[in-house]
Structure 1
Amino acid sequence: MGKTVLITGAAGFLGSHLCDKFISEGFRVIGMDNLITGDIRNIEHLFKNKDFEFYNHDVTKFIHVPGKLDYILHFASPASPIDYLKIPIQTLKVGSLGTHNCLGLAKEKGARILIASTSEIYGDPLVHPQSEDYYGNVSTIGPRGVYDEAKRFQESLTMAYHRFHGLETRIVRIFNTYGPRMRLNDGRVIPAFIGQALRGEHLSVFGDGLQTRSFCYVDDQVEGIYRLLFSEYVEPVNIGNPDELTIKDFAEEIIKLTGTNQKIVYRELPKDDPLQRQPDITRAKEILGWEPKVSREEGMKITYNYFKNLSKEDLLKKEHKDFSKHNRK
């Protein structure tokens, strides 16, 4: 019988692509998601596969998975500003209680666990590009702190389990990733720009547009995560594309890609929005033999075609998830 992997956040953007990757590599995959921000349509194509099983479950509550588990990938978390600003308490809980439950499960099963951290642990960085030995510049009490600090605590708890219990742990720091299955109106740069272009709206750039981002195509991101899981390296590793550009230049690329004649409109920069974001991937190159292969031009064409083929209903609807019940405790 093949190896079994549990993937939390399985119905999300990255989680669903990881499910596909591990199925294609011959694993038995158990996907887990409470569908607060995930979309069941991202994994529906796997339901008929005998090697895939889905649990609708909130990882902040006790996790029970019968039988053998070889690996756990903890990707359950809101990941877009719209989400974690609407459900700040749940965001903190999934990074703390959810991570604690996943680590406890890994200890019980003797499984290796990979934790999904983020470039947001660097905050608004004073060091550029960001390497793994940079401790960051984060506001604990700012609106983005609920996400940033959840991830920072998550890393600390993971390393504590590694050192105290001898648990096999891995930590990936994910930089901006894009591709099919992103939610169109989740507030992140690429789906926001493409959605506006497809609806004939002007593109909203926050601040002066000179802040930078580095975008990694999802296939490259998944390959880096996969290699990290099976490496012997326990400290955090940046996985991202160091090809940096300004948001203003990227908006102009989107207008050219979509063949529309929209203009760029400038809006107030959100509080604590990082002005620079570029990964130093030296560690990933040396330890994993990994670096991104898909150019932004190629990846954006695939992503744009995915969004272009969405239904008119999906294109026009705004985010309408009811988050109220998830903020009560």
Structure 2
Amino acid sequence: MTKRSLVTGGSGFIGSHLCERLLAQGHEVLCVDNFFTGRRANVEHLLDQKRFELLRHDITFPLYVEVDEIYNLACPASPIHYQFDPVQTTKTSVVGAINMLGLAKRLKIPVLQASTSEVYGDPTVHPQVEGYWGNVNPIGPRSCYDEGKRCAETLFFDYHRQHKMDIKVIRIFNTYGPRMHPNDGRVVSNFVVQALQGKDITIYGTGKQTRSFCFVDDLVEGMMKTMATKPGYTGPVNLGNPVEQTVGELANTVVRLVGSSSKVVYSDLPMDDPKQRKPDISKARAELNWEPRVPVEEGLKRTIAYFDDLLSRQSGQDTRGA
């Protein structure tokens, strides 16, 4: 029997890849997005498929559809975008979660929440395990996203306890790949675009802060494996790459892979920016039989190729730094 999957935030960077994979597995896909950060271009190649439907909708308003499972990805995920309208960011995480949980409750179907490593804040435990409660500033400029996602997790587990619902919660660590927004302010897209344009590469802080980068294909595989677990498996489960590197090391790798003349410059570190980020994925390995398989350099080459093509089409000329 063909499953009908609802993907909120489905025209975003991660959501569009998930829609693609679900279609490849024979699902019908209802992609819902308000296009605040998602882009129609990300799913345009899917529009001629009979099993794909695109609906413009903001999940802070109720949605009445008939589906078999819900992937709730809707929310701006980069600081530039989620701080642009912080009240709306919190509403998307909290009210959006209530609306999707209400829909799943009515239909008696599983619902997966795309949470984030940001629930750990600026962690005092390293690497981060799912049992760690986090170190989050509740009133800072990043709180709309961090606390919004933490509240969404609370709602998911309360609906599970109170209404016996089949919930799944994943915590996504830094993900990168084709279809990232070129102006989202994330470190990978920033560095790649700057290197391709031959501009200075801006590192915020000393560059000693660490991140762990997971290629989008690996993440989508982990999401689908989580959804496929039996009722009663709730998570939360970390999905990310346990290979840790400094931001400075990433900048040097990008410059080398692009073959750019870009120089590295330094700027002030934003408030509450985490100093370390590395997932412990023991649970994902044991419970989902999942771990990332795409090496960072291979993923970066594919990401660079995407941005090179995108920027070339935008400018009508070669974008590589001389």
Q: TM-score range by the shorter chain?
A: over 0.9
CA distance in 2: counterparts of 1:64 and 1:181, whole angstroms? 29
Describe the superposition over 1:254-310 as per-residue Cα deviations: whole angstroms up to 9, x where unpaired. 110110121110000000000000000000000000011000111111111011111
Q: Is the 8 A contact 1:184 1:315 kept in 2?
A: no
Q: Within 1, Cα distance between the matches of 2:314 and 2:153?
A: 36
> Paired residue for 1:325?
none
Runs of 4+ deviating beyond 3 Å: 311-316
Equivalence for 2:273: 273
1:23 has 2:41 as partner? no
* Equivalent in the alignment of 2:303: 303
Checking the alignment, whether the CA contact within 8 Å between 1:209 and 1:247 is kept in structure 2 is yes
Q: Does 1:201 align with 2:225?
A: no
Task: Tell me the distance in 1 between the aligned counterparts of 2:170 and 2:315.
Answer: 32
Which of 208, 211, 214 in structure 2 is aligned with 1:210? 208
Equivalences for residues 60-75 of structure 1 within 5 A? 60-65=60-65, 67=66, 69-75=67-73
Provide the aligned C-alpha RMSD in A.
1.1
Match of 2:255 in 1: 255
How far is 1:64 from its partner? 1.4
- Superposed CA offset, 1:113-169 (max 9, x none): 000000000000000000000000000000001100000000000001111001100
Pairwise CA distance, 1:315: 6.5
Segments of 5+ residues of structure 2 without an aligned counterpart are 317-322
Q: Matched residues in 2 for 1:315 and 1:30: separation?
A: 33
Task: After TM superposition, give the deviation of residue 313 of structure 1 in Å.
Answer: 6.4
- TM alignment of 1:49-88, pairs within 5 A: 49-65=49-65, 67=66, 69-88=67-86
Partner of 1:101: 99
Q: Deviations over 1:147-192 (max 9, x none)?
A: 0000000000000111100110000000000000000110000010
- Deviation, 1:110, is 1.1
TM (normalized to structure 2)?
Answer: 0.96
- C-alpha distance in structure 1 between counterparts of 2:252 and 2:147, whole Å: 33
Partner SS for 1:54: strand
**Distance across 2 between alignment mates of 1:14 and 1:284:** 19
- CA deviation after TM superposition for structure 1 residue 235, in Å: 2.3
How much has 1:314 moved relative to structure 2? 4.0
> What residue in structure 1 maps to residue 184 of structure 2?
186
- Displacement of 1:58 after TM fit? 0.3
Does the 8 A contact of 1:224 with 1:290 survive in 2?
yes
Counterpart position of 2:143 = 145
Q: Residue 314 and residue 129 in structure 1: after superposition, are their counterparts in 2 closer, same or farther (change >3 A)?
A: farther
Task: Name the aligned partner's letter for residue 196 of structure 1.
Answer: Q
Determine the C-alpha separation between the residues in 1 that align with 2:45 and 2:306: 16
1:131, 1:279 within 8 Å by CA — same for their partners in 2? yes
Identity in percent? 50
2:161 to 156, 163, 167: 163
Provide structure 1 residue ranges, at least 5 long, that are not aligned to the other structure: 317-329
Tell me by how many angstroms 1:312 deviates: 4.0
Q: What CA distance in whole angstroms lies between the structure 2 residues aligned with 1:300 and 1:175?
A: 16
> Match for 2:127: what amino acid?
P
Total equivalences in the alignment: 314
Using the TM superposition, name which of 139-148 and 305-314 deviates more: 305-314
The separation in 1 between residues aligned to 2:308 and 2:96, in whole angstroms, is: 35
Please state how far the C-alpha of 1:87 moved relative to its aligned partner. 1.4
Q: What secondary structure sits across from 1:86 in the alignment?
A: coil
